[in-house]
Amino acid sequence: MKVQCAILAVALAAIGCATGETLEGEDSGPTYVGVDGVWIQQVAIYQSLKRVLAEGGVPAVSNVPLVAGRDAVVRVFYAAAPEKIGTVVRGRLEITGHESLIVEGALVGQSFDHDMASTFNFGVPGDAISEPFEYRVSLLHEAEDDNVTAHHPAAGRESHFVEGPRNTLRVILAPFQYNADGSGRLPDTSPAMVEIYRQRLLALYPVSNVEVTVRDPHPWSQPIGNWGEGWDSVQWALYAFRDQDGTSADVYYYAIFNPADTYEQYCQGGCILGLTLMYEGPPDVGTPDMRMAAGVGYWEVAPDTTAHELGHVHGRLHAPCGPGMDPNSIDPAFPYANGGIGVWGLDTVTLELKDPTKTPSAFGLDPGPSDMMAYCTNEWVSDYTFAGLLFRGKNVNLPDIQGPTSRSLQRPQPARVDHELILIDGQGRGDWKRSVKRQALGPAGSIPVSLRTLDGQTIQARGHYYRYNHLPGGWLFFPKPAVSVNRAELSVDGKPVAVERR
């Protein structure tokens, strides 16, 4: 059998070439054995972030989860004796349950993280990643005697636990048609733009796949301001879409709108780009009806803003980088200074590396990569956020074996009961909405609410308060009492708030 592979003698771009050929022990063909004078020092797999599989010949442990069904790049780091430099050899990646991958390239003296051309790189399709992940890598040439240091592991295959199940993040973009200025302006939801959103989410989230669909435009005549005016009303309209559309619980709704012609016009003098209602619990799943966020639809900022806001919906707080960030919104457990990504990153589509040793910033021409939950430029994702997103996503996202039209395999959702909902603005004023059906939550994370009945009695209840992430104010839900109530009192950030039902 002939191997149909591009020979990349200099730049080892990740051209994994699948072949079913057995390279060793064929009667008629050449015998490929481990190259002498070569030592494999490290093997790493990248599904946006570097996870070291083996170091110094032994399996490594890592905080970076592996995700089944997610495209990956495997890099083999090695050292070669001086006389071997420039020799073209064959790299092979064997994966249990999948065809071997082959690349060819010229040896260098030493591999480095920052230099893709210094490693043997294999583009691994997501279908080759399943639990457990078992592999062996080899650097081979035609010869008689095998060199064991040109293989890892030296014999057999090394097995790794795949922490992330196959899962698909599903997002519905909900365009709002902006009529407040008479323009009827719509954000770009062309197939090309939707694919940009999808690819961005796929790069940053620990998922096997992302589906992005677009809802019919929703006419909107209320003003939406660059510092938060009208954003709460958008959220309230968005909240109703899931029930109106009959959408399953795993889907995230994301409202997009363009209150001015261009991003520059909208954001002159500063602006908010997106808004989410924050609530940390239950941490492993969140609440289905709050799987929503809103943001501007300008192409320059919309995909990154979507990733950031949906990160908040996954319960993620801010990473410390960038101007104007509320100190109380910063995740105290975020592990890296300046909102960095902590470990090497790699865009497995473009093969662009993300250097964690460079300092992130909101300014400058060439800042280091920042975590997507920061306010800095050159956004990527830290291992901390990546693991946090998986913690939520593995419980919420549907397995990707289930197509978008199939709803039959969904896990049963908790019963929904009547709740009262009050929108509270930044001045502590309340807007008592009609009652809504939503999942009953336990006492965890609840706050006391004092209610007045129609006949003047006071009863005590417990509610759940969801604060806006980038604005003061938030939403209060509490279970509808058995008797009618017309006044609610609670404490928000230490300040008393009293709302009368109109």
Residues of this chain that bind Zn ion (CB under 5 A): 469
Q: What's the closest the beta carbon of residue 370 comes to Zn ion, in angstroms? A: 13
By the 8 A CB rule, do 384 and 334 touch? yes
CB-nearer residue toward Zn ion: 312 or 394? 312
CB-nearer residue toward Zn ion: 147 or 469? 469
Amino acid at 328: N
Indicate the burial class of 192 (C-beta count within 10 angstroms; 0-12, 13-18, 19 or more).
Answer: exposed
The encoded tokens of residue 331 equal 């995740």
By the 8 A CB rule, do 298 and 266 touch? yes
Round to whole Å and give the CA distance between 176 and 220.
Answer: 6
Round to whole Å and give the CA distance between 380 and 251.
Answer: 23
Q: What's the closest the beta carbon of residue 200 comes to Zn ion, in angstroms? A: 16
By the 8 A CB rule, do 336 and 384 touch? yes
Q: What's the closest the beta carbon of residue 329 comes to Zn ion, in angstroms? A: 7
CA neighbor of 135 nearest in space, from 90, 92, 80: 92
Q: What's the closest the beta carbon of residue 63 comes to Zn ion, in angstroms? A: 23
A 10 A CB-CB count for 331 gives: 17
By the 8 A CB rule, do 230 and 237 touch? no
Q: What's the closest the beta carbon of residue 166 comes to Zn ion, in angstroms? A: 29
By the 8 A CB rule, do 238 and 291 touch? no
Q: What's the closest the beta carbon of residue 307 comes to Zn ion, in angstroms? A: 11
CB-nearer residue toward Zn ion: 214 or 290? 290
CB-nearer residue toward Zn ion: 209 or 469? 469
CB-nearer residue toward Zn ion: 164 or 286? 286
CB-nearer residue toward Zn ion: 189 or 469? 469
Q: What's the closest the beta carbon of residue 328 comes to Zn ion, in angstroms? A: 12
CB-nearer residue toward Zn ion: 397 or 469? 469
* Residue of closest CB approach to Zn ion: 469
Q: Any idea what the Cα angle at residue 111 is, between residues 106 and 115, rounded to 5°?
A: 90
Please tell me the chain's helix, strand, coil percentages from 3-state DSSP, rounded to the nearest 5: 15, 35, 50
Q: What's the closest the beta carbon of residue 121 comes to Zn ion, in angstroms? A: 34
CB-nearer residue toward Zn ion: 64 or 374? 374
Round to whole Å and give the CA distance between 14 and 124.
Answer: 9
The encoded tokens of residue 173 equal 């973009």
A 10 A CB-CB count for 502 gives: 7
